[in-house]
Chain A
Amino acid sequence: MAELMYWEAIRRAHDEEMTNDPLVICMGEDIGVAGGTYKATNGLYDKYGPERVIDTPISENGYTGLGIGASFLGVRPIIEIMSVNFAWLAMDQLFNSAAKVRYMSGGQLTAPVVVRSAGGTAHQLGAQHSARMEKVFMSIAGLRVVTPSNPRQAYGLLKSAVRCNDPVYINEHELMYNMKGEVPDEEYFHPLVGSEVAREGRDVTLFGYNISVHWCLQAAETLSKQYGIEAEVIDLFALAPLDRAGIVASVRKTHRAVIAEEAEPAVGVGAEVMAIINEECFFELDAAPVRVSAVNVPIPYNHTLEKAAIPNAGDVVAAVRKMLGK
């Protein structure tokens, strides 16, 4: 098994899917000649040409709609939106056209597009380049939402997303493109539904997704070594639909839940996971579930303030200790 960086894994998935099917194309700003802001399409322009690796104008709603229209006739576009903050502009086409066309046509038309975008806070990018928008996408019926926490998922989720007949939004992370991890050498298709047990434990379940999985894993180490607490970590790589059964199974085992999210708490992944726990296994809880979320502010430029706005592994440790009184 080779170690790849997150961006290399995404690039490899593009490359394989484009080789496999001549109707797979990719499009977005600066993805062709320039190779992509995060290099996720590096070299593909030379290999597949301008008809299939399309440098678009800065028209997020327009080119997303164009990709959706192409998908009506069997093309499989992988649309890169440079940053999630710009994806707001494409929500009209993604939500109103792609997510709804199957339903409102009574199953006659589908929009098998993949939209990938980089979200999250990074290095002092300021209020307009630090959005965490997965909560918005996951609330739309007709859209699948996945979010890879490592290169293996980044590779395998994109492969399945390209072939799946539903529109899929892939939420990547600004800070994770250079993360290294093992990716199978042979072709691998990651399921678009479910969750993964990233670490087994018995005392408390830590739910994370994308970057917050890493805070949870780090926190679990600390909790085990310093406090004798064995935390289970569940990686919610699929946000829509959420893995109800997986969430419940782990809470039934540990009877405690902490959800770590990089986004603001309101109407978010944490709120949704808590609601599921409430609905499904309230009486099996030994403690009230807790969210570890961002502070509800536009992300500040100042480094200290930015750090204060976003949670980290230490916050997860503190939440668990408080819950267990240790």
Chain B
Amino acid sequence: MNLADKKRLLREMLFARRFEERCYEAYVERKIGGFLHLYSGEEACAHGVLEASKKGHDYVITSYRDHVHAIKCGADPKKVMAELYAKETGSSKGRGGSMHIFDVEHRFMGGYALVGGPFPLAAGMAKAIKMKGGDEIVICFLGDAANNQGTFHESLNMAKLWDLPVLYVCENNLYGIGTRIDRSTAVIDQYKRVSGYNIPSAQEDGQDIEKVFKAAKKAINHVRSGKGPYFLELMTYRYRGHSMSDSNAYRSKSEERMWSNRDPIIMLRDRLIEAGELTGEDYKAMDTEVLDEIEDEVIAFAESSPEPRVDELEKYTLAENDPWVYGGGR
């Protein structure tokens, strides 16, 4: 990771933070409906891992906390915001919403709302890659609490049994909604849980993007070299409530303070300043630029986009004009 990369990543993470915080505002203004899960505080996880992957080549899948992963994969932030605004120009044409961002062109294979749902889907895409003989891999990001789903165990078993090219990234933010990990899970260190399936794994500081990047490089090399799945646990923290209806009442202020002292963006910023590669003024200018871009381009696009048409309500339910529905005859 060279200096230019670090500066770019700083800006990308800052953009992600400001994007999410702007979503918060839009939700309060009732421009965004449904459930909204923000990624603030966890930026180094997605950015560090995906920086180590091949963009537009590797496949990525995750849960409902998905805006930032999609954007890092290459999804246009304007389309992501338009999706949150439920507009026809949204990435899923307003039919998906915050939890279901998709950008298949950039190989972002979706956000899914059932906790643990993506585990087997990721293994399946990896099976397809293996059959076709490509060197792509699948990267599946999920939370810590998702590991208590049956799909976790079923998928890890099959992924190892058939040595599928899939990297499972556990974003361990210590909570599943309001239940702290030690109250839901018998084994606290998630990376240890996969040893039962003979899958190599590691645990890393998820707040330090350089450490995440290094750990992810190693993990991705393992998977891409054909040695089968890998499990990477990243220790992180979400600043906001689980979703917008959550006030975080179950967490102590001191715990929150401890984590905000290890903010992934501030850590990288200060490192660059210390190295003399960036000034406080540079950072402020960067922030202003990001805020302007979000307001003038992203929000403006979402605001001015049209709603989906009611006469297209049923579109996308089933394939259109598929001749095999009629026995190939039409």
Q: Known: A106-B96, A160-B325. Contact between A65 and B102, CB under 8 A? A: no
A57 and B157 form a contact (CB under 8 A): yes
B125 and A96 form a contact (CB under 8 A): no
A71 at interface (Cβ–Cβ under 8 A)? yes
B327 at interface (Cβ–Cβ under 8 A)? yes
Within the complex, the shortest CB–CB distance from B177 to chain A, in Å, comes to 19
Pick from B114, B155, B329: contact of A62, CB below 8 A.
B155
For B320, the closest partner residue in chain A by CB is A107
Which residues of chain A come closer than 8 Å to B122, judged between CB atoms? 69
A101 and B158 form a contact (CB under 8 A): no
Chain A interface: which of B7-15, B87-95, B203-211, B262-270? B87-95
A69 to B113, CA, bound (A): 16
Which residues of chain A come closer than 8 Å to B150, judged between CB atoms? 59, 61-62
Which residues of chain A come closer than 8 Å to B104, judged between CB atoms? 105, 108-109
- What size tier do the contact residues of chain A reach? 35 or more
A71-90 contacts to B, CB under 8 A, are 71-75
Pick from B130, B153, B316, B329: contact of A107, CB below 8 A.
B316
Q: Known: A63-B158, A69-B128. Contact between A192 and B324, CB under 8 A? A: yes
A96 to B327, CA, bound (A): 27
B317 at interface (Cβ–Cβ under 8 A)? yes
Q: Known: A96-B114, A97-B121. Contact between A72 and B109, CB under 8 A? A: yes
B24 at interface (Cβ–Cβ under 8 A)? no
- How many A-B pairs have beta carbons closer than 8 Å: the answer is 183
B128 and A64 form a contact (CB under 8 A): no
B310 at interface (Cβ–Cβ under 8 A)? no
Q: How many residues of B contact A (CB 8 A)?
A: 54
A107 to B93, CA, bound (A): 9
B291-330 contacts to A, CB under 8 A, are 315-319, 322, 324-329
B120-138 contacts to A, CB under 8 A, are 120-132
Within the complex, the shortest CB–CB distance from B94 to chain A, in Å, comes to 7
A142 and B94 form a contact (CB under 8 A): no
A142 and B110 form a contact (CB under 8 A): no
A106 and B90 form a contact (CB under 8 A): yes
Chain B interface: which of A30-38, A127-135, A162-170, A276-284? A162-170
B128 and A190 form a contact (CB under 8 A): no
Which residues of A approach B to under 8 Å, CB–CB? 23, 25, 51-52, 56-57, 59, 61-75, 92-93, 96-97, 101-110, 141-142, 144, 156, 160-161, 163-166, 189-193
Can you list 23 A-B contacts with CB-CB less than 8 angstroms, sorted by A residue number? A57-B161, A59-B157, A61-B150, A62-B153, A62-B155, A64-B120, A71-B128, A96-B114, A104-B96, A104-B110, A106-B94, A108-B102, A109-B110, A142-B317, A160-B325, A161-B324, A163-B324, A165-B319, A165-B324, A166-B319, A190-B327, A191-B327, A193-B325
